[in-house]
Structure 1
C-alpha cells in the first residue's frame, strides 16, 4: 500500500446542508415525541391519581 493514510472525520457529512436539515428535523421530532409522552403521563396521573395508569400509558405508547 503506497497510499497516504487520511484522517477520517465523523462530522464530515455535516458539511452538506441537506444532512443538517434532516438531522435537525429528526431531533425536533424526537423532542416532540418525548414532550408528548411526558405530558400525557402527567395528565393521566392528575386525572386518575394512580401511578399504575401512567405506567400503562408508557406501555401502550412504546
Structure 2
C-alpha cells in the first residue's frame, strides 16, 4: 500500500506541474498511446467531465 501511495504522490506532482488533476493526466496518457486507442471515461459530476475535457484539450492542443 505504501508503494502505491508513493506512486500516487509522484503522479500528483507531475499533474500539478501541468496544472491538471491526476485523472486528467491519466486520460491524457491513454490518449497519447495512439489514434487507435480511445479512453472510455464517465462522469457523474460536471467537474469530472471538465477534467476529461481538459485531458482532450491538452493532448490534442485544441
The answer, yes or no, to whether TM exceeds 0.5 is no
Query: TM-score, length-normalised on structure 2?
Result: 0.31
Larger radius of gyration: 1
Structure of greater relative contact order (alpha carbons < 8 Å, 6+ residues apart)? 2
